[in-house]
Structure 1
Amino acid sequence: MTNSTPHPTETHDVVVIGAGVVGCAMARRFTLEGARVLLLEKSPDILSGASKGNSAILHTGFDAPRGSVELACMQAGYREYLEIHRKMSLPLLETGAMVVAWNEDDLHKLQGIIEQAHDNGVADVKFIDRAAVRALEPHLASDALGAAQVPGEFLIDPWSAPLGYLLQAMLHGAQVRFNAQVTGGQFDGQVWSLATTAGAVKARTVINCAGLFGDYLERDLLGEASFSIHPRKGQFVVFDKAASRYLGNIILPVPNERTKGIVLTKTVYGNLLVGPTAEEQDDRVHAGLDSAVLQQLVDAAVERIPALEGMPVTATYAALRPASEKKEYRIRKVEGKNWITVGGIRSTGLTAALGIAQHVFGLYEGRHTPLAAHALQWPTLPNLAEHLTRDYQKPGYGEIICHCEMVTLREINAALASALPPGDFGGLKRRTRACMGRCQGFYCGARVAQLSADRLAIPLATGVCHESH
């Protein structure tokens, strides 16, 4: 497997712009369908934009808009993840979820949520009363009045999954170019000629997966944008691993018209997560933290799970979601331009990514010979999930580098030497969880810097980026 630099005169079947979770899934799908694919990313690593921060839930689509593209893509993505995750050693934590009513108004809304779930084909969603909620989640506050139980909502590793998608694409010939921001382009009726900060690129079809900048990319290359991105910030609080014993199910609120609301959930890494908020802002790059808002999240968590009172907070982080002026996904093929835009993919993108890639391939007009299923190669991803065997539990790991997250020397060396090594410190953290525990790199940061010296496109600098789960 190689990440070779494309020859400047090579014409690719497809160029995918943006290496978030959707872009990685897109590169995989088109490669497996036989296309020659190049993935362009303006940052030094994958998942450097909106995809680096989310709640890591694999959604059933029970509450997605009826008959929507979003619903179809979510459910197709859900099914495909269940089909392939074992082949890539990707974790799945089968928690289930409950949409909990905390007041009478919410209680009256549960029946509508259950009916919508059944309309969406999620037939196992059912109402459970206060006693059943209490039996399932004894640490929840006693004022929980009832819930819609959703057994099929699960948790996954949100960073290993897209890494696996892209690694499989690369195993079958896909190429990746980082630090390659698209600065212009022209279409001659058959081939796109793109200018990037890493050189010229030619492709028969362009797929815009540029996330927070997808509307700008449309405007710059097509002359006008068909949608506009309105960044929506979500702040999260991560409680210490000791907090996870107080929760089994994912606890969802009754949503409103604007947001699904604040979620309480374990993570596959063994923490307890609360968030996200939903804050509109103009800045598409910086997602600042607000101490007052973070305290509100802590207070909300304690109100729902009183045993969290006094529980240490391991980390806080904020991320931006590429919401648009409409709630639905903004997926469209531009006739006569060999261009497909995949925009407005918000919080459900992690689940829907594989399904979005299937949907977009259905819009694509190229004809290729799909790779034979029996001949597919499958990458094996390192396990970071606490409910499965970790590397430190196997002999020969060499040294524990990060004691908070029990990250081994073997894991860090493997990440740095992999076919798709991290391009920056954030990428190394997402691949290993080094510096993402209680001390946030205070004790292990110097050792990680030593090990990664001269091996990252952007060397490890002082400071810690907040993207912990």
Structure 2
Amino acid sequence: MHQQDNGKAETFDVAVIGAGVVGCAIARTYALAGARVVMLEKAADILDGASKGNSAILHTGFDAPPGSVEAACVTAGYREYLEIREKLGLPVMRTGALVIAWTEEQEAILPDLIAQAHANGVTDVEMLSREDTLRREPGLAPSLRASFRVPGEFIIDPWSAPLAYLGQAMAHGAELRRSCKVLGGDFGGTHWDLKLSDGSVRAGLVINAAGLYGDDVDLALIGRRDFTVRPRKGQFVVFDKSAAALAGHILLPVPTKITKGIVVCPTAYGNLLVGPTAEDQTEKDVADLVPDTLAALRARGEEILPGLKDHDVTAIYAGLRPATEEKDYRIRHHADQNYVTVGGIRSTGLTSALGTASYVFGLTEQTGFHYDPPESVHWPTVRNISEAQQRDWERPGNGGVVCQCELVTRREIESALEGPLAARSLAGLKRRTRVTMGRCQGFHCTARLAEMTEGHFAVPMAEATGHD
């Protein structure tokens, strides 16, 4: 129940800390169960942490550690995404993936990876010879030795999914508070009193989905860390849209114990992506781009697909993954404190988010957290910004194209600036519309965007020194 505490802190059933993709999915699950949810996000907009930079692959979980929490959450999340995506207006590009061996040693590992896929319930993988692989992807370097195909690996829009999850949660009463940092809190036996940068809230259950800062939030609230986040930076290069024709599959390397490795794949926005790197660091708020690393990344992409040498790089970016001391997810239910930590959600977080939310809900349901579900479920749809479906520029009455590189219309921008989930920053607007993502990186549309967004952003574009 949502109520006032003697005119002081508002009371909610559940407070979710961190509006990344996992936090948004958790908010959705609890809201659909009937809980009164508040989402607390320290940034000016959602998806501002680890969730803003990923390769946007919907993973089958074929290479997840069998029996792990990650494997269970990825499998469940994959299944639920495909079940609900049409109701929420979410796209999918059914590309499939090729896991490619380039050396004799890697080729020897392929049977073990296939066995691992089978152990994870992914039984439709198909071993391919060098010749069969090249028939499917003739643009690959002929030096490859063999591969196997995973038909169920798909490309999705990495930003529309969490926006849809949180949008559905808010349609069922969830509240979003941005620019709202959790400073501390006290558990009184039945409720948490959370101290925030802009006030306070009371919640019966607190779920820490703070990503890169999950261990810090644990320390602030329960006085200890059960794990330590070790940020792992991933740098990416994005090739021009003309390069997308070079590959029809997600091209995966043979993974290592540390990383899934360098991926070459189409994107939902019509480009071709190469990345990420896997660089451990200590800083949680800096993801610097390193020219030499980016040059090496581009060179590796050209080794895999020699035709990339004839195409330009449109964009470069970097993101941080909240890696920890262990490879598996670090989900801990502190039942005696009405508190759950959801940590260590790394590169599979986009796929696993819905499954992770269900997993967490199951943990708290076992300890007595029950709510009254709504009589009917609302399914608000998100506006499509992917190339998998019709775009707004193709429809009449759109007000004209503002961002020429990405064909973003005035109507799309105006829509993204309104409503309870309105963009509060240029980075947030980009993640809702694709503005500034193209070849000119905003050079030609920034002035018009500054005019259109005046009064909408926490920091006006005229005062901002840069954007994501």
Does TM, scored on the shorter chain, surpass 0.5? yes
| Contact 1:5 1:177 survives alignment (8 Å) | no
| Contact 2:322 2:346 survives alignment (8 Å) | yes
Secondary structure of the residue that 2:202 maps to in structure 1?
A: strand
Structure 1 distance, partners of 2:396, 2:16, is 41
- Matching residue of 2:346: 346
Matched ranges for 1:19-30 at <5 A: 19-30=19-30
Equivalent residue letter for 1:309: K
- Matching residue of 2:390: 389
Query: What is the Cα-based RMSD across aligned positions, in Å?
Result: 1.4
Structure 2 distance, partners of 1:143, 1:421, is 49
Shift of 1:343: 0.4
Is 2:237 aligned against 1:234?
A: no
- Matching residue of 2:81: 81
Structure 1 distance, partners of 2:156, 2:466, is 24
| Contact 1:5 1:175 survives alignment (8 Å) | no
- Matching residue of 1:455: 456
Shift of 1:388: 1.6
Shift of 1:463: 5.3
Superposed CA offset, 1:193-243 (max 9, x none): 010011111001100001101101111111111110000000000000000
Taking only the aligned residue pairs, the percentage that are identical comes to: 54
- Matching residue of 2:432: 431
Structure 2 distance, partners of 1:188, 1:395, is 57
Structure 2 distance, partners of 1:235, 1:123, is 32
Shift of 1:63: 0.4
Structure 2 distance, partners of 1:106, 1:90, is 35
| Contact 2:230 2:282 survives alignment (8 Å) | yes
Equivalent residue letter for 2:338: N
- Matching residue of 1:367: 370
Is 2:355 aligned against 1:355?
A: yes
- Matching residue of 1:252: 252
| Contact 2:10 2:200 survives alignment (8 Å) | no
Structure 1 distance, partners of 2:379, 2:8, is 29
- Matching residue of 1:440: 441
Secondary structure of the residue that 1:248 maps to in structure 2?
A: coil
Secondary structure of the residue that 1:234 maps to in structure 2?
A: strand
Structure 2 distance, partners of 1:405, 1:8, is 47
Equivalent residue letter for 1:43: A
| Contact 1:59 1:351 survives alignment (8 Å) | yes
Structure 2 distance, partners of 1:315, 1:122, is 34
Structure 2 distance, partners of 1:137, 1:297, is 21
Structure 1 distance, partners of 2:234, 2:440, is 23
- Matching residue of 1:141: 141
Secondary structure of the residue that 1:412 maps to in structure 2?
A: helix
Matched ranges for 1:26-425 at <5 A: 26-364=26-364, 365=367, 366-372=369-375, 375-425=376-426
Shift of 1:459: 1.7
Stretch of structure 1 that moved more, 326-335 or 19-28: 326-335
Structure 2 distance, partners of 1:245, 1:418, is 37
Structure 1 distance, partners of 2:467, 2:389, is 26
Structure 2 distance, partners of 1:335, 1:194, is 18
Secondary structure of the residue that 1:324 maps to in structure 2?
A: coil
Equivalent residue letter for 1:458: V
5+ unaligned residues in a row in structure 1: which ranges? Answer: none
Shift of 1:458: 2.2
Shift of 1:13: 0.8
Equivalent residue letter for 2:467: C
Shift of 1:419: 2.8
Structure 1 distance, partners of 2:190, 2:232, is 37
Secondary structure of the residue that 2:325 maps to in structure 1?
A: coil
Secondary structure of the residue that 1:357 maps to in structure 2?
A: helix
After superposition, the Cα gap between the structure-2 partners of 1:130 and 1:44, relative to the gap in structure 1 and judged at 3 Å, is same
Structure 1 distance, partners of 2:296, 2:243, is 18
| Contact 1:441 1:464 survives alignment (8 Å) | no
Equivalent residue letter for 1:327: K
Equivalent residue letter for 2:32: L
Equivalent residue letter for 1:377: H
Secondary structure of the residue that 2:74 maps to in structure 1?
A: helix
Shift of 1:380: 1.3
After superposition, the Cα gap between the structure-2 partners of 1:245 and 1:8, relative to the gap in structure 1 and judged at 3 Å, is farther
| Contact 1:425 1:458 survives alignment (8 Å) | no
Superposed CA offset, 1:150-176 (max 9, x none): 000001100000000000000010011
| Contact 1:440 1:464 survives alignment (8 Å) | no
| Contact 2:235 2:317 survives alignment (8 Å) | yes
5+ unaligned residues in a row in structure 2: which ranges? Answer: none
Shift of 1:462: 5.2
Stretch of structure 1 that moved more, 412-421 or 158-167: 412-421
Structure 2 distance, partners of 1:371, 1:180, is 28
Stretch of structure 1 that moved more, 348-357 or 410-419: 410-419
Structure 2 distance, partners of 1:215, 1:96, is 35
Superposed CA offset, 1:333-379 (max 9, x none): 1131000000010000000000000000001131112234xx21111
Superposed CA offset, 1:366-413 (max 9, x none): 1112234xx211111111111321100011111110000000001000
| Contact 2:237 2:275 survives alignment (8 Å) | yes
Structure 2 distance, partners of 1:462, 1:195, is 29
